[in-house]
Structure 1
């Protein structure tokens, strides 16, 4: 290799290191990349070789960043400038107004000027929408057709969620309608501590196949957040409710006070695949043997490189202990194409 070429390559390499952020850990490792964020005592370092690495600040011996950062101290003071820690428990912020040296324990967060305070991002409520379709058919010895559609809208914050849903299902078997169900509802859930919260929900349903002209279910009660992690959540609910059912035939309308129990579980695998399980148990207070159980378990697989399209496969069971329909249990196996957006 020619000396001039070697000098040029060396200059580019040295220049790239000089412009990069450097983090040195207590065990002697030197990590080079870009400090995206310092939040809750963790440095987020984006590298070209391993993506974003998260390093606890108590494992960092020193770090250096010439690029400006916005720093928020625990006292609420906000400064912008280059940051560096030369070891120990001190950090230096070089701002336009001068140099501030303080303890690293007093740094609540630091982020790029083009980014947002992570605390503000965590506390923001955001709308999320989702639409799905499930369409299957068969012609030949038998003619079968099934259409299932749904729409969900969710306004979610760190400690509360407002949700709306709409479902429609229709199916035919050799010209005979086997499904014709429309349902919709809304719910709100809010947590006032890490574990405890409250909820309220309402649902309306019409299902002529099951002789239901109108079913109205309303409930409110307490929520218990048993697991609340980035990759997994588990919420249990218990409360009181009221259910009213008007039938298509001459059967007398029914209404009763109910108990309301529920479990909602989500689990995300490797930030891509997602499993979701929901279970609702609504017994009558007057007659505990009269109850309704709804179970829905699904698994989502992303389609393509984005987060918008995915395929959801699952099973849904609806059991009615006291019903005018021919069967007490309705079981649906589904494969849906789902599109979600903000």
Structure 2
């Protein structure tokens, strides 16, 4: 019995020695080899990094484009998985593939990569080949020393359409240029660039005498860099116990053509006057000549005029046109924001006899009443003198207190 057990032990020992010899010589297949001892049992650590749960919470960490150190390169004609340059090949599970270096979304195209060239990086569905060099682009290049043409600057007063047609540079072109129909032009001319005001004065009494006096007027003025146009209209009417004691009016048109920075100007004047208690029904006068501006600023103006013309009294015993000269002076001064002074005088002597003349004088003081500049008070004094009144008094003086409404 003891001999049998010793024989079995010797047999097992012989078989084990034979197996070890076959494995070392390579005669036994690797599948039949004995199981390897785990590395952790040999005292070799195999875990470095975060737990799988922590990695899932943190998510992948990568950036695009990847650093140059993470872009692998292959020599010409090489295939297969890419490895980091300078890395040492290690057997078994320590070998790293391109998937360990870069995320799946930024894998390097497989294939042939030229030596010395950076491999192309693509994202899923968005190929991004390397940009061509500047030398490969067919771009126009100006010869050395050639200055690029610069379009001339456009005159601010030039219409934008004309400036673009001539190739001039403009600061900015609007989306659509404002245009006006032919029937809108007169209305735009009347409502833009004008300083206008309407004036009204009313007084009366009742008792022993019943009187009512009304004065109204309209003054319009348009100033530009080239000309000044003024329109002035006044009308007065007074009654006493139902009888009209005063009924007259006048209309003046004054045009001044300025000569840029020169103090000289050319003027034209038209006047119409009617009065129920004069020896004529109406009087017309036309005059023109030259003017000289001693002062022309935003706050002050003083100018003189000299010219010639003619006048005609309609409904008078002598209703022929009479040649006459004209001498005039006009001034304005803005004392402050609330006070403004105005004065004007015109002298019309007949060329044939200077003793036959007319003088029209106006003085006014305007007082601003509110901060909106729309409401003012006007104190006015007007004197009309005619040396040949034909039976009437030669001098008519009108003084009034008027309320001005500017628009």
Please point out which of 308, 314, 318 is paired with 1:252: 318
Matching residue of 1:279: 345
Cα drift, residue 168 of structure 1: 1.3
Please point out which of 194, 204, 228 is paired with 1:161: 228
Unaligned runs of 5+ in 1: 1-74, 79-124
**Is 1:299 paired with 2:369?**
no
With normalisation by structure 1, the TM-score equals: 0.60
Distance 2:357 2:394 in 1: 11
After the TM superposition, which residues 1-342 of structure 1 pair with which residues of structure 2 at under 5 Å, given as runs? Answer: 126-192=193-259, 193-247=261-315, 251-341=317-407
Higher helix share: 2
Does the C-alpha gap of structure 1 residues 77 and 242 become closer, same or farther in structure 2, counting only changes over 3 Å?
A: closer
- SS of 2:321's partner is strand
Unaligned runs of 5+ in 2: 1-151, 156-191
- What root-mean-square deviation, in Å, do the aligned CA atoms of Structure 1 and Structure 2 show? 2.0
Superposed CA offset, 1:138-158 (max 9, x none): 112222211111112222113
Looking at both structures, which has the greater relative contact order when contacts are Cα pairs under 8 Å and sequence separation is at least 6? Answer: 1
Does the C-alpha gap of structure 1 residues 323 and 230 become closer, same or farther in structure 2, counting only changes over 3 Å?
A: same
Cα drift, residue 203 of structure 1: 1.3
Cα drift, residue 315 of structure 1: 1.1
Does the C-alpha gap of structure 1 residues 254 and 143 become closer, same or farther in structure 2, counting only changes over 3 Å?
A: farther
With normalisation by structure 2, the TM-score equals: 0.51
Superposed CA offset, 1:210-249 (max 9, x none): 132120010000011011123211011110011000236x
Superposed CA offset, 1:29-85 (max 9, x none): xxxxxxxxxxxxxxxxxxxxxxxxxxxxxxxxxxxxxxxxxxxxxx9699xxxxxxx
Aligned length: 219
Question: Structure 1 runs of 4+ off > 4 angstroms?
Answer: 75-78
Higher strand share: 1
| Maintained 8 Å contact 1:231/1:271 | no
